[in-house]
Amino acid sequence: MTAICIANNKGGVGKTTTAVNLAAGLARLNYKVLVVDMDGQANATYALTGRVHPAPSVYDVLVGTRKIDSVIWQTNEENVWLIPGDGRLQNADVELASKPAREWRLARALTGQEFHYIIIDTPPSLGVLTQNALAASTKVLVPISLTEFSLIGIDKLDAVIEDLREQLDLPDLEIAGVIATFFEDTTTSRETWGILEKKYEERLLSTRIPKNLDLEKAHREHESVLSFAPSSTSGLAYMELAREVKRRVAAHSRPYNRRSAQAY
């Protein structure tokens, strides 16, 4: 089991789109994939199932006492399963604030699950929900849109990852890759790509995700773009991204057991 957190505290950068389509791409490479929707908007849940704010969800696992096995769903994508999110997650940071070892609740709940990859979609914030997603992961993928102001605030994510690495004793938590999204052949996109190359060097993935209406259409049809329009520019790009992530972040078949997940 390899857990990957999709994170960026800036909204509108393609986190959910990347989570859904990366999962679908890895599934097409014959991996069994679990998507965890930690965002109160629950867009990943809608994109993969067509359900709007279902209950029970991951909220009942994190805040309540429900076992995670009871909220794992088969999705519209073959070999992709989902732990759904719902609107109650928007209050979860406050509700979890006083809980003991609050950052470990997701990791503890996932212990024993048997998937090749877990892909965790996060809200556009660095609160307790995102901290749970980071603590449950060993690798982080950061989507950054190639648009003006896209780099503002990204250093905050780097700082939170560093803090969690030290506070929770997670030396293996690291940014495995930065993904450029909403690419267009414009001066702004090219200039932003150049900045990313200098800032992240080898951590910048070579695959660039183009801006494409098929991504929105696939979302409305409750499919990945790999099912809806596999030959589109975005479909081909996300399939290539899955191959690149596979090369950088190896899958493991052993059951999930995050180191230190029991240490509270």
Quick: pLDDT tens for 214-242: 999 999 999 999 999 999 999 999 999 99
Q: Report the range of poorest mean pLDDT among 42-51, 121-130, 159-168, 255-264.
A: 255-264
- Quickly count: other Cβ atoms within 10 Å of residue 31's Cβ: 19
Radius of gyration of the chain (CA): 17
Read off the amino acid at residue 87.
Answer: G
Predicted local distance difference test score (pLDDT) of residue 147: 82
* Confidence grade of residue 243 (pLDDT, cut at 50, 70, 90): very high
CA distance linking residue 209 with residue 22, whole number of Å: 11
Contacts of 182 (CB under 8 A, 6+ apart): 13, 14, 145, 146, 147, 189, 209, 210, 211
Question: What distance in Å separates the CA atoms of residue 248 and residue 52, rounded to the nearest whole number?
Answer: 34
Q: For residue range 111-165, list pLDDT tens digits in order.
A: 999 999 999 999 999 999 999 999 999 999 999 999 878 787 788 888 889 998 9
Q: How far apart are CA 44 and CA 154, in angstroms?
A: 22
**With helix as H, strand as E and coil as C, how does 217-237 read?**
HHHHCCCCHHHHCCCCHHHHH
Q: What is the pLDDT at residue 263?
A: 40
The pair of three-digit structure tokens given for residue 124, joined into one six-digit string: 């556009």
Retrieve residue 121's tokens. Answer: 């979609």
pLDDT for res 217: 96
Look at the pTM and tell me if it is higher than 0.85.
yes
Host H or E run for residue 175:
strand 174-183
Query: What whole-number distance in Å separates Cα of residue 244 and Cα of residue 246?
Result: 5
Which conformational region is residue 212 in: left (phi greater than 0), alpha (psi within -120 to 50 degrees), or beta?
Answer: beta
The CATH number for 2-137+213-248, chosen from 3.40.50.300, 3.30.930.10, 3.30.465.10, 2.60.40.3880, is 3.40.50.300
pLDDT (mean) for 205-215: 95
Of residues 260 and 184, more confidence is placed in: 184
Nearest to 121, CA basis, from 92, 82, 88: 82
Residues near 243 by Cβ (< 8 Å), separated by ≥ 6?
Answer: 25, 29
- What is the arithmetic mean of pLDDT over 14-20? 97
pLDDT score, position 259: 65
Closest CA to 72 of 31, 102, 109: 109
Where exactly are the structural domains of the chain?
A: 2-137+213-248
pLDDT at 261: 45
Sequential DSSP letters for 71-119: G-EE-SSTTEEEE---GGGGGHHHHHTTSTTGGGHHHHHHTT---SEEE
Q: Please give the Cα distance from 4 to 7 (Å, whole number).
A: 9
pLDDT at 107: 96
Question: Does position 54 have pLDDT exceeding 90, yes or no?
Answer: yes
State the chain's mean pLDDT as an integer. Answer: 93
Residue 11 carries which side chain, given as an amino acid letter? G
